[in-house]
Amino acid sequence: MAKDFLKGVQESYDVVVIGSGLAGLTTANVLGRAGHSVLLLEQHYKLGGMATWFKRPGGHIFDVSLHGFPVGMIKSCRRYWTREIADSIVQLENIRFDNPMFSLTTTFNRADFTELLAKQFHVDRENIQAFFDTARGMNFYDDQKQTAGELFEKFFPGREDVVRLLMEPITYANGSTLEDPALSYGIVFSNFMSKGVFTFVGGTDVLIQMMHDELKRNGVDVRIRADVSKIVVHNGAVQAVEVNGRTIRTRAVISNANLRSTIFRLIGEEKFDQGFVDEAREVRLNSSSTQVYIGLKPGEQIDESTGDLLFSSTAPRFQTDLLLSRDITSRTFSFYYPRTRPQSDPRCLIVSSTNAHYHDWADLSEHDYQASKADLIETTLAALEKYVPNVRERIAHAEAATPRTFKHYTQHVHGASFGTKFEGLAVSRALPEQISGLYHAGSVGIIMSGWLGAMNYGVIVANDVDAQLLKAPPVSREAQTKAIPRS
Ligand X SMILES: Cc1cc2nc3c(=O)[nH]c(=O)nc-3n(C[C@H](O)[C@H](O)[C@H](O)COP(=O)(O)OP(=O)(O)OC[C@H]3O[C@@H](n4cnc5c(N)ncnc54)[C@H](O)[C@@H]3O)c2cc1C
Using CA atoms, how far apart are residues 53 and 47, in angstroms rounded to an integer? 10
- Please tell me the chain's helix, strand, coil percentages from 3-state DSSP, rounded to the nearest 5: 45, 20, 35
CA gap 200, 417 in Å, rounded? 20
Which lies closer to ligand X via its Cβ, residue 21 or residue 196?
A: 21
Nearer to ligand X (CB atom), residue 161 or residue 286 = 286
Write each residue from 278 to 307 as x if it is in contact with ligand X (CB under 6 A), else as -, in one continuous string.
-----------x-x----------------
CA dihedral 422, 441, 461, 66 (to 10 degrees): -90
CB 286, min distance to ligand X, A: 9
| Of the residues 287, 353, 380, 405, which one makes contact with ligand X according to CB under 6 A | 353
* From 29, 65, 204, 320, residue interacting with ligand X (rule: CB under 6 A): 65
Single residue of 142, 153, 227, 300 touching ligand X by CB under 6 A: 227
| Rounded-to-integer distance, Cα 289 and Cα 175, Å | 9
d(CA 344, CA 366) in angstroms, rounded, equals 36
**CB atoms closer than 10 angstroms to residue 386:** 11
Site for ligand X in 23-62 (CB under 6 A): 23-24, 41-44, 49-51
SS3 readout for 47-83: CCCCCCEEEECCCEEEECCCCCECCHHHHHHHHHCCH
Q: Is 256 in the site for ligand X (CB under 6 A)?
A: yes
Q: How far apart are CA 451 and CA 339, in angstroms?
A: 21
The single residue among 127, 247, 379, 411 that binds ligand X, judged by CB under 6 A, is 411
Q: Give 123 or 223: the residue with its C-beta nearer to ligand X.
A: 223
Q: What is the 3-state secondary structure (H, E, C) of 389-437?
A: CCHHHHEEEEEEECHHHHHHHHCCHHHCCCCECCCHHHHHHHHHHHCEC
- Find the shortest distance in angstroms from Cβ 466 to ligand X: 18
Closest CB to ligand X among residues 161, 168: 168
- The answer to whether residue 69 forms part of the interface with ligand X (CB under 6 A) is yes
Q: Which residues of 4-41 are buried (b: 16+ CB within 10 A; e: fewer)?
A: ebbeebeebbbbbbbbbbbbbbbbbbbbbbbebbbbbb
Please choose, from the candidates 102, 132, 95, the residue with its C-alpha nearest in 3D space to the C-alpha of residue 120.
102
How many residues of this chain bind ligand X (CB under 6 A)?
39
Given the complex with ligand X, which of 347 and 440 has the nearer CB atom?
440
Q: How many CA atoms lie within 13 A of 285 on its CB side?
A: 19
Q: Which of 21, 32, 307, 437 binds ligand X (CB under 6 A)?
A: 21
Q: Which of 36, 67, 373, 407 binds ligand X (CB under 6 A)?
A: 67
The interface region with ligand X, picked from 89-97, 123-131, 140-148, 414-422 by CB under 6 A, is 414-422
Give the binding range for ligand X (CB under 6 A) out of 149-157, 383-391, 409-417, 431-439.
409-417
Residue nearest to ligand X (CB): 21
Nearer CB in complex with ligand X: 49/181: 49
Q: Rule CB under 6 A: say whether 228 interacts with ligand X.
A: yes
Q: Is the dihedral of CA 91, 96, 102, 103 positive or negative?
A: positive
Mark out the alpha helices in 10-143 (DSSP H runs).
22-33, 72-80, 83-87, 110-115, 125-137
Q: Does 18 bind ligand X (CB under 6 A)?
A: yes
- Distance in Å, CB of 246 to ligand X, minimum: 13
**Using an 8 Å Cβ cutoff, are 182 and 146 in contact?**
yes
The SS3 assignment for 210 reads helix
Using the rule CB under 6 A, which residue among 257, 383, 388, 465 binds ligand X? Answer: 257
Torsion angles phi and psi, residue 178, rounded to 5: -65, -20
Pattern of binders to ligand X over 428-467, x per CB under 6 A?
--------------xx-----xxx--x-------------
- 68 in contact with ligand X (CB under 6 A): yes
The CB-of-43 to ligand X minimum distance in angstroms stands at: 4
Closest to 24 (Cα-Cα) out of 406, 412, 475 = 412
Under the binding rule (CB under 6 A), the answer on residue 186 touching ligand X is no
Judged by CB under 6 A, the residue of 9, 16, 17, 22 near ligand X is: 22
Q: What is the DSSP letter of 36?
A: -
What type of residue is 309? L
Q: How far is the CB of 383 from ligand X (least distance, A)?
A: 17
CB of 166 to ligand X, least distance (A): 18
Residues forming the site for ligand X (CB under 6 A): 18-24, 41-44, 49-51, 64-65, 67-69, 227-228, 256-257, 289, 291, 353, 406, 410-412, 417-419, 442-443, 449-451, 454
